[in-house]
């Protein structure tokens, strides 16, 4: 949540910061602001709403876009204080000589604020972040790095901060505890950011700060230290995403682009990981020997939102393919309900961003309880990837749209590979493994076939987009696909949508059905289809329009449903993937029809980095 970008070098600073903010906008879009140190002062601009509004205000300031030197900028997802211009970052000390941008939450800010106010400090905003600017100002004696380091241990909570001072032009100080900061290394220039996406047009060489790190960054040098002022060394990582990967190209929205990227992103997840000879999967990042794998007695999957839904699909895989009892935890609950973690429990945290606060907390709890932890993440070098110690990357490329699409499908594929590997350690035969391995290799093609039906799905979406309530129903491993379909629809179209196990309808929800309440029924031709057929009849008997997802050519479903989205025939294990893609398209076209901000739905941000 919230995005930070900073630049130090010779180029005009505002255009670089504004471009960076636009690339970060998926992290929050309540307000935006920037501060540039130039000619011994800090010039700044802020605006409520999208970065574009702030850009327009900056363009209207004569000469602002030509200022060169160093600067910091921020796009905000409001936590403390309403979305307003005063609450937009950067925040300043009283004489406007120090500016700070902050991601995270300062939990003890009220105590700190009271102490500062008692000493005569005047606050401009209602945010927790502003205390940082006043505290650094109070500690400042000509050395911004030292002043920042001096106050950090008074801050409870989490922070990723970037600080500039008009007294030290050409210098950005950054610090991290619980909220990511990445340094981008350039030629005669350096950048800082809260994630790598705004750095891609400038450099591929990055340093990920660790918690407790603080750094002084000039155009020529990065001086990296611990808060105790001891120099530290961090590896320079190379980002292999190209800049185009984080751009929309010819697509109307990032979400559509990312939906259409799935044949490739899934192929990337599979590449080099299928062992046809042994009918198994190769997941080196798990770093577990066959003996260790054989000793796993229970699996706990933890995640939030779509990542948790992927985990629910995984639960079916691990129990059915590997015969290992599996439970899926909402990451937000994991540490509070004191889960039972026995010595041979494998905990799998799943997170696209690797920065979701609750999933990070789950990882820490699992590590602390002595579990074997192996993460599934997309963002390389993210907190979860690093703290879990072992895991696999999705290689899906940057996912910019707030609604997760390609990360979800790759997570499901990764869980299927994982289950295959564990299954082959146990009861899954080589021949069954070979069949499943072949099915897994087919997934990109199955998804391509669904994408080819986008125009038909668009028509269906337009027909039903005016309804305000939807149910999604499924059974078996299509039940989590129903949950995911409902989440996708509600988050981007603002339609109230609920996912249910099809059998649950009769336990209450069915009372809501009428002709204005469509039901999306996942009626693929896999075990359990006959039961779903019965559930479709029950919905129709209550006059609810039924949109069915069905296996291509299934006449029975075609005759029964009001609209049918066809998916190619495939096994039950693979079925959630083409189905999820069909539902992503349904949600996308519905949101477009309703004129919604598809990539940046109201009230949301891409990474939920606070509890």
* Separation between Cα atoms, residue 372 and residue 341, nearest integer Å: 10
Q: Is 332 helix (H, G, I), strand (E, B) or coil?
A: helix
3-state secondary structure at position 162: strand
Query: Does the protein bind ligand M6R through residue 402 (CB under 6 A)?
Result: yes
CA–CA distance, 349 with 96 (Å, rounded to integer): 43
Q: Is 584 in the site for ligand M6R (CB under 6 A)?
A: no
Give the residue, chosen from 55, 189, 329, 491, that forms a contact with ligand M6R under the rule CB under 6 A.
Answer: 491
Quote the least distance from Cβ 260 to ligand M6R, whole Å. 17
Residue 2 annotated as catalytic:
yes
Closest approach of ligand M6R to the CB of residue 408, in Å: 7
Active-site annotation holds for 68: no
Chain centre to alpha carbon of residue 325: 28
x/- letters, 326..355, toward ligand M6R (CB under 6 A):
-------------------------xxx--
Nearer to ligand M6R, 13 or 352 (CB): 352
Core vs surface per residue 160-172: b (16+ CB within 10 A) or e: bbbbbbbebbebb
Is residue 580 a contact residue for ligand M6R (CB under 6 A)?
no
Residue 355 C-alpha from the chain's centroid? 8
Closest residue by Cα to residue 395 from 381, 412, 407: 407
Element (H, E) at 445: helix 430-451
Q: For ligand M6R, how many residues bind (rule: CB under 6 A)? A: 16
C-alpha angle with apex 471: 468 to 472, nearest 5 degrees? 135
Q: 């102490």: which residue's tokens?
A: 115
- Least gap, CB of 330 to ligand M6R (angstroms): 11
- Choosing from 304, 366, 519, 596, the residue that interacts with ligand M6R (CB under 6 A) is 304
Query: Contacts with ligand M6R in 549-568 (CB under 6 A)?
Result: none
Site string for ligand M6R, 204-243 (x = CB under 6 A): ----------------------------------------
CB 283 to ligand M6R: min, Å: 19
Identify the DSSP state of 246.
G
Cα dist from 136 to 71, 154, 214, 250, 270, whole Å: 17, 11, 14, 45, 49
**What one-character DSSP code corresponds to residue 321?**
I
Stretch that binds ligand M6R, among 402-410, 435-443, 526-534, 572-580 (CB under 6 A): 402-410
Catalytic residue among 2, 70, 121, 377: 2
3-state secondary structure string across 199-231? HCCCCCEEEECCCCEEEEECCCCEEEEECCCCE
Q: What does the alpha-carbon distance between residue 521 and residue 288 come to, in Å, rounded to a whole number?
A: 40
Only segment of 147-155, 305-313, 459-467, 543-551 that touches ligand M6R (CB under 6 A): 305-313
Residue placing its CB nearer to ligand M6R in the complex, 535 or 607: 607
Q: Candidates 9-17, 57-65, 228-236, 298-306 — which segment interacts with ligand M6R by CB under 6 A?
A: 298-306
In DSSP terms, 205 is beta-bridged to 238
179 binding ligand M6R? (CB under 6 A): no
d(CA 538, CA 234): 61
How far apart CA 22 and CA 50 sit, in angstroms, is 9
By CB under 6 A, name the one of 79, 93, 179, 306 that touches ligand M6R: 306
CA atoms of 416 and 398, how far apart (whole Å): 22
Which residue's CB is nearer to ligand M6R, number 308 or number 510?
A: 308
State in angstroms the smallest separation of the CB of 194 from ligand M6R. Answer: 14
Contact segment (CB under 6 A) with ligand M6R among 246-254, 401-409, 444-452, 558-566 equals: 401-409
- Given the rule CB under 6 A, which of 93-101, 268-276, 302-310, 388-396 is the region that contacts ligand M6R? 302-310
607 binds ligand M6R (CB under 6 A): yes
Q: Cβ closer to ligand M6R: 464 or 588?
A: 588
With b for 16 or more beta-carbon neighbours within 10 A and e for fewer, the 534-562 pattern comes to ebbeebbeeebbbbbbbbeebeebeebbe
Q: Out of 307, 374, 410, 425, which residue is the one contacting ligand M6R (CB under 6 A)? A: 307
The residue number whose beta carbon is nearest to ligand M6R equals 305
Shortest reach from residue 304's CB to ligand M6R, in Å: 4
Catalytic residue among 22, 46, 406, 606: 606
Contact region with ligand M6R (CB under 6 A), list: 27-35, 102-110, 149-157, 397-405: 397-405
CA 66, 67, 72, 75 torsion: positive or negative? negative
**Choice from 179, 383, 404, 590 touching ligand M6R (CB under 6 A):** 404
Nearest residue (CB) to ligand M6R, 502 versus 608 = 608
Q: Are strands 213-217 and 172-177 parallel, antiparallel or unpaired?
A: antiparallel
Q: Across the chain, how many H-helices and E-strands are there?
A: 19, 27
Q: CA–CA separation, 191 vs 199, rounded Å? A: 7
- Residue 410 interacts with ligand M6R (CB under 6 A): yes or no: no
Interface mask toward ligand M6R for 526-545; x: CB under 6 A:
--------------------
Minimum CB distance to ligand M6R, residue 288 (Å): 23
Of the candidates 467, 82, 490, 112, which has an alpha carbon nearest to the alpha carbon of residue 306? 490
Quick check: 442 and 574 in contact, CB under 8 A?
A: yes
* Binding of ligand M6R by 305 (CB under 6 A): yes
357 to 396: interface string for ligand M6R, x by CB under 6 A: --x-------------------------------------
Query: Residue 515 belongs to what H/E stretch?
Result: none
Q: Alpha-carbon distance 550 to 579, whole Å? A: 9
Q: Is 356 in the site for ligand M6R (CB under 6 A)?
A: yes
Give the one residue of 3, 608, 609, 610 binding ligand M6R; rule: CB under 6 A.
Answer: 608
* 235 DSSP 8-state letter: P
Per CB under 6 A, 17 contacts ligand M6R: no
| DSSP string computed for 251-299 | SSSHHHHHHHTHHHHHHHHHTT-EETTTTEE--GGG---HHHHHT--EE
Residues classed as catalytic: 2, 606
What does the binding site for ligand M6R look like in residue numbers (CB under 6 A)? 304-307, 351-353, 356, 359, 402-404, 487, 491, 607-608
């Amino acid at each position: 949540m919230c995005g930070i970008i900073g630049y130090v070098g010779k180029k005009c600073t505002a255009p670089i910061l504004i471009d960076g903010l636009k690339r970060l906008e998926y992290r929050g879009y309540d307000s935006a602001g920037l501060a540039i140190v130039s000619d011994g002062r800090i010039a700044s601009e802020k605006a409520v709403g999208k970065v574009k509004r702030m850009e327009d205000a900056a363009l209207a300031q004569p000469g602002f876009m030509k200022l060169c030197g160093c600067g910091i900028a921020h796009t905000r997802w409001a936590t403390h204080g309403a979305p307003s211009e005063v609450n937009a970052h950067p925040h300043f000390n009283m004489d406007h000589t120090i500016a700070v941008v902050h991601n995270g939450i300062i939990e003890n800010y009220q105590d700190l604020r009271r102490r500062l106010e008692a000493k005569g400090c005047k606050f401009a905003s209602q945010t927790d972040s502003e205390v940082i600017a006043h505290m650094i100002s109070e500690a400042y004696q000509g050395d911004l790095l030292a002043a920042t380091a001096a106050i950090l241990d008074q801050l409870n909570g989490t922070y990723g901060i970037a600080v500039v001072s008009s007294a030290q032009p050409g210098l950005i100080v950054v610090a991290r505890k619980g909220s990511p900061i990445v340094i981008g290394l350039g030629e005669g220039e350096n950048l800082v950011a809260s994630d790598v996406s705004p750095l891609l047009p400038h450099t591929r060489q990055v340093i990920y700060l660790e918690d407790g790190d603080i750094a002084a960054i000039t155009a020529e040098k990065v001086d990296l230290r611990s808060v105790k002022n001891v120099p530290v060394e961090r590896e320079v990582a190379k980002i292999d995403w190209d800049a185009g990967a984080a751009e929309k190209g010819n697509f109307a929205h990032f979400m559509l682009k990312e939906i259409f990227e799935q044949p490739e992103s899934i192929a990337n997840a599979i590449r080099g990981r299928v062992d046809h000879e042994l009918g198994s999967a190769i997941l080196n990042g798990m770093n577990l020997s066959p003996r260790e794998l054989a000793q796993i007695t229970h699996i706990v999957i933890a995640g939030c939102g779509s990542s948790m839904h992927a985990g629910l699909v995984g639960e079916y895989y691990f129990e059915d393919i590997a015969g290992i009892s599996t439970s899926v935890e909402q990451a937000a609950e994991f540490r509070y309900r004191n889960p039972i973690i026995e010595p041979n429990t494998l905990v799998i945290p799943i997170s696209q961003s690797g920065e979701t606060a609750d999933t990070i907390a789950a990882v820490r709890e699992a590590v602390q309880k002595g579990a074997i932890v192996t993460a599934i993440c997309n963002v390389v070098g993210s907190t979860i990837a690093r703290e879990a110690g072992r895991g696999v990357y999705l290689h899906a490329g940057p996912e910019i749209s707030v609604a997760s699409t390609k990360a979800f499908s790759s997570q499901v594929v990764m869980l299927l590979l994982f289950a295959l590997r564990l299954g082959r350690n146990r009861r899954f035969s080589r021949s069954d493994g070979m069949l499943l391995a072949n099915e897994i290799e087919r997934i990109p093609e199955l998804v391509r076939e669904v994408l080819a039906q986008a125009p038909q799905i668009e028509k269906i979406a337009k027909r039903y987009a005016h309804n305000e309530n939807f149910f999604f129903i499924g059974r078996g491993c299509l039940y989590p696909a129903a949950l995911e379909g409902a989440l996708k629809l509600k988050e981007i179209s603002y339609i109230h949508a609920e996912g249910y196990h099809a059998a649950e309808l009769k336990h209450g929800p069915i009372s809501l059905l009428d002709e204005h309440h469509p039901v999306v029924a996942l009626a693929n031709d896999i075990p359990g289809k006959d039961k779903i057929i019965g559930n479709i009849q029950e919905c129709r008997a209550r006059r609810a329009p039924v949109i069915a997802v069905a296996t291509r050519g299934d006449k029975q479903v075609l005759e029964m449903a009001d609209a049918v989205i066809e998916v190619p025939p495939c096994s039950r294990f693979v079925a959630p993937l083409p189905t999820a893609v069909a539902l992503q398209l349904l949600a996308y076209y519905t949101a477009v029809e309703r004129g919604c901000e598809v990539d940046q739905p109201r009230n949301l941000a891409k990474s939920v980095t606070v509890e």
